[in-house]
Amino acid sequence: MYADSTSPLKPVLIACAGIALYSTMDVLMKGLSISMGAYNAVIWRTTAGTVLCGIAYAAMRPTWPNRATMVIHFVRSIFVAAMAFFFFWGLARLPMAEAISLAFIAPLLAIFMAAIFLGEAVDRRSIIAALMGFAGVVVIVIGKLGASKHAPDALLAVAAVSISALCYAANLILARKQAKMAGPLEIAFYQNVFVTLILGLAAPWFLVVPSLSDAIPIVSAAAMAVLSLMLLTWAYARAQTQILVTTEYTGFLWAMFYGWVFFQESVTLSTLIGAGLIVTACLYVTRPAKAAAQPVTA
């Protein structure tokens, strides 16, 4: 549907903006997951997202997607539903920065999954950038784990976030293909619809009506999630997965910022070193392709 641009800089910047919005949403969703549980936080957010997207999408007088497009909308939504539930369940039980750092397994996996499922050549530039960004996360995590106290169910939370990361890696791969088949608003609408329907299967046992105090955070989180998805969809339609997944690491920078603003967390030397590695990785991967090395061959 869209052609790749010759320079990845603009898609990378748009993707960074999408990650920034999503990270802000994480703050709201953590509070909602603590107050009403991860299941209800996610299903009410996607319900609100369905309404918000539905109004805008209906105004466009859209045509019905073809079968292939509808299938990928549904399949990706399965991964998104699992990813969201497990992540926010873990996020409610772990410090925000630690949970997000664990999720960074996904971009690293997605680079190599893109080579398998999308046929994208994995060049040394992308590998170096991914490893550099991951190294930055490791440095920060080591520094934080040494000073952090964990809840009794922290190991289960770590497992939940790890499962979420696997789902997210698959989600990133499907995002590239889906972005070439449909526009951002269509993708946002059907993702919210399908995730709500999928999670709705458990509604008779787990659904609770949110309080009035939760209404504003739910709607705000839904709006941020929709806009973030549209920005990321735009970016993934115009640059390769292996380039854009590195921007995921900027989410940790936002986690550090929100930790400092809302929880008075100090910024340690290990945090500064790790952040420097993450930013360097993102800048490195946006260099013109002609300056990169030849693709890795066996």
Higher-pLDDT residue of 57 and 176 is 57
- Collapsed DSSP state (helix, strand, coil) of residue 295: strand
How far, in Å, CA of 95 to CA of 195, rounded?
26
Domain-located, residue 1: no
Query: Is pLDDT at 291 greater than 60 in this prediction?
Result: no
Domain-located, residue 297: no
How far, in Å, CA of 80 to CA of 199, rounded?
11
Higher-pLDDT residue of 172 and 90 is 90
Higher-pLDDT residue of 274 and 82 is 82
Domain-located, residue 295: no
Query: Is pLDDT at 224 greater than 80 in this prediction?
Result: yes
Write down the pLDDT at residue 261.
Answer: 81
Query: Is pLDDT at 7 greater than 80 in this prediction?
Result: no
Closest CA to 159 of 80, 77, 87, 92: 87
Domain-located, residue 155: yes
Report the alpha-carbon angle 203-208-212, nearest 5.
140
Asked if residues 14 and 234 have their Cβ atoms less than 8 Å apart, the reply is yes
pTM assigned to the model: 0.80
Higher-pLDDT residue of 193 and 296 is 193
Mean pLDDT of 175-186: 82
Write down the pLDDT at residue 289.
Answer: 54
Mean pLDDT of 191-210: 96
Domain-located, residue 241: yes
Write out pLDDT tens, residues 26-76: 999 998 999 999 999 999 999 999 999 999 999 988 889 999 999 999 999
Domain-located, residue 298: no
Mean pLDDT of 137-150: 67
- Collapsed DSSP state (helix, strand, coil) of residue 275: helix
Residue 208, Cβ density class (10 Å: 0-12 exposed, 13-18 middle, ≥19 buried): exposed
Asked if residues 267 and 256 have their Cβ atoms less than 8 Å apart, the reply is yes
Closest CA to 113 of 162, 75, 161, 170: 170
Write out pLDDT tens, residues 228-275: 988 988 887 788 766 787 787 788 888 888 877 876 666 677 778 877
Residue 168: give the domain boundaries: 9-288
Write down the pLDDT at residue 151.
Answer: 57
Write down the pLDDT at residue 297.
Answer: 36
- In this prediction, residue 177 has a pLDDT band, given cuts at 50, 70 and 90, of confident
How far, in Å, CA of 251 to CA of 231, rounded?
15
Closest CA to 84 of 127, 38, 32, 132: 38
Q: How many domains does the chain have?
A: 1
Domain-located, residue 187: yes
Write down the pLDDT at residue 265.
Answer: 60
Q: Lowest mean pLDDT: which of 7-16, 92-101, 281-290?
A: 281-290
Domain-located, residue 31: yes
- In this prediction, residue 144 has a pLDDT band, given cuts at 50, 70 and 90, of low
Interacting residues of 4 by C-beta distance below 8 A, sequence separation 6+: 238, 239, 240
How far, in Å, CA of 240 to CA of 120, rounded?
8
